[in-house]
Chains A and B, each alone.
Chain A
């Protein structure tokens, strides 16, 4: 993105975490939109077979978290990991057979979510340690005072197409536009933690549930209409939030594929360009397995 930032003034912090297990309870089942019971994997652990550029929905899964789901064992340190880690930050495996392999953060979901290339990803399991180089909170676009930046590494901003236009607006390429009715669980939470679930993307379920979002892909850059995420996530007419789809398929009602918040401000401060290549896979996910 051709845009002036304060990136030169940011510091990086080295954080640690571990691939955190999926969590369940003895009752097993949860319920879907029509009361249908389900017991499906997706959240926590090391999830294989869904990566940036792949469809977000269409899996037998709930709260699909692509790749490694990372937390820190200490509650206070965990909040540092969740708040300070940004999309695009580099993560290195620090233990286990995949030690030394590098991946990138694609978002937060009460876990930090890390995309690792195949085939190395298959060597990673629950309990493996990771090292995160966290940088990005505090980032500002110095020529766009009304736009807040969240959870966004300086490297991601550099690689995204677009930038400051002659008319002063910020050009952002997006793979999809999301109506305000789609905003589900996650509304009312802080913007630096977890993400916003999108309703209306229940592949294979009723037409009356659909908001036409079944084509979303993991890693898609999306524009959320009437959303102000500068100081927490809420509705504000005339505002716009740019996010990245970091989680996928949900069976749980009121939940769905979720964007982590990246940029937020008045809609008139943005110039959106519809671009199917606006996906993290274009800039980060290495499908060749090369290091």
Chain B
């Protein structure tokens, strides 16, 4: 039996991000899993037309995120923004036509690192790359008293947790039960393996052809993956995340989940509610 970890009070830090501009190299093309060239649209930057609840497979884009991707011009500061921002954190626009607008962090992406922030559609449409956004980062290191000792939470604003379909176990059903849209096998884990879960999402190698209806904001479980430190294979474990970006034509990529919980499968128990699942919604985040 693991000793119960001490629950320390989390602290909040105001961080600065700026809305990313998409970048390309000399060639517009990437190569998809079948060898065909394509022009990636919506891979970072400020993306309009997708919202929480939309299908992750229905857009003709690459890693599309429902909102604005936030970066920082200094690489070390960008890593800190990525590492400390948590889903549900308040994001306030500080400059530009939407100054004063308040949105929320929806997820994060690895590689060079981006924080995904959602806003009201009209306010999002009035924003432009370079606009500054202040993120009130709080959540890393937070753990509620009722959490079983062998379950780890991350990337989650403490104020959001009670609104998500996460239920503490009872005396007869120990552990934590979480409603999910799907339970995915470890062999479908893609980009993000071997990378730190507080700073990188885990892509699921799924396409529309797999026939699993998944939406932005859905909670998804992946079996036999341990995400406490780097993400990797461990038999008997379970990891749960929130889908923050959409599908990708690239081999080894796909809809990406930002990890919120990981632990032994006996303690972290997903309940596959399929199409009946409700995950992260705009109303939970007080987004209009």
Q: A-side interface residues toward B, CB under 8 Å?
A: 31-33, 35, 179-189, 197, 199-200, 206, 208-209, 211, 226, 228-236, 252-255
Q: Is the interface of A mostly helix, strand, loop or mixed?
A: loop
Q: Compute how far the CA of A81 lies from the CA of B230 in the bound complex, rounded to whole angstroms.
A: 30
Q: Compute how far the CA of A229 lies from the CA of B251 in the bound complex, rounded to whole angstroms.
A: 8
Name the B residues within 8 Å of A31 (CB-CB). Answer: 229-230
**Residue from A182, A208, A226, A234 in contact with B252 in the complex, judged by beta carbons closer than 8 Å:** A234
Contact present for A254 and B231 (CB under 8 Å): yes
**Residue from A33, A187, A236, A253 in contact with B191 in the complex, judged by beta carbons closer than 8 Å:** A187
Instruction: Given A35-B229, A233-B252, decide whether A188 and B191 contact each other with a Cβ distance below 8 A.
Output: yes
Contact present for B31 and A185 (CB under 8 Å): no
Residue of B nearest to A236 (CB): B33
In this complex, how many residues of chain B approach chain A with their Cβ under 8 Å: the count is 32
Nearest-Cβ distance from residue B153 to partner chain A, whole angstroms = 16
Q: Would you list the 10 A-B pairs with minimal beta carbon distance, nearest first?
A: A185-B194, A234-B251, A188-B252, A254-B194, A254-B232, A188-B191, A234-B252, A180-B187, A232-B251, A253-B230
Contact present for A234 and B233 (CB under 8 Å): no
Contact present for A234 and B33 (CB under 8 Å): yes
Contact present for B203 and A188 (CB under 8 Å): yes
Instruction: Given A200-B233, A209-B234, decide whether A252 and B250 contact each other with a Cβ distance below 8 A.
Output: no
Contact present for A254 and B195 (CB under 8 Å): yes
Contact present for B34 and A235 (CB under 8 Å): no
Interface flag for B266 (CB, 8 Å): no
Contact present for A33 and B205 (CB under 8 Å): no
Q: Compute how far the CA of A32 lies from the CA of B194 in the bound complex, rounded to whole angstroms.
A: 10
Contact present for B230 and A254 (CB under 8 Å): yes
Contact present for B233 and A187 (CB under 8 Å): no
Name the B residues within 8 Å of A197 (CB-CB). Answer: 193-194
Nearest-Cβ distance from residue A277 to partner chain B, whole angstroms = 29
Known: A187-B191, A187-B205, A235-B190. 11 other contacts (CB 8 A): A187-B190, A188-B191, A188-B203, A188-B251, A209-B235, A234-B251, A235-B252, A236-B33, A254-B230, A254-B231, A255-B230
Interface flag for B218 (CB, 8 Å): no
Q: Compute how far the CA of A211 lies from the CA of B260 in the bound complex, rounded to whole angstroms.
A: 26
Q: B-side interface residues toward A, CB under 8 Å?
A: 31-35, 186-191, 193-195, 203, 205, 224, 226, 228-237, 250-253
Contact present for A255 and B194 (CB under 8 Å): yes
Name the A residues within 8 Å of B233 (CB-CB). Answer: 181-182, 184, 199-200, 209, 211, 254
Nearest-Cβ distance from residue B76 to partner chain A, whole angstroms = 11
Residue of A nearest to B235 (CB): A208
Q: Compute how far the CA of A86 lies from the CA of B31 in the bound complex, rounded to whole angstroms.
A: 21
Name the B residues within 8 Å of A200 (CB-CB). Answer: 233
Instruction: Given A232-B33, A236-B33, decide whether A187 and B234 contact each other with a Cβ distance below 8 A.
Output: no
Contact present for B230 and A252 (CB under 8 Å): yes
Residue of B nearest to A206 (CB): B234
Name the B residues within 8 Å of A229 (CB-CB). Answer: 251
A-B contact pairs, 24 of them (CB 8 A): A32-B229, A33-B229, A33-B234, A35-B228, A183-B193, A184-B232, A184-B233, A187-B205, A188-B250, A188-B251, A189-B191, A189-B252, A199-B193, A206-B234, A209-B232, A209-B234, A228-B251, A229-B251, A231-B35, A234-B253, A235-B187, A253-B232, A255-B230, A255-B232
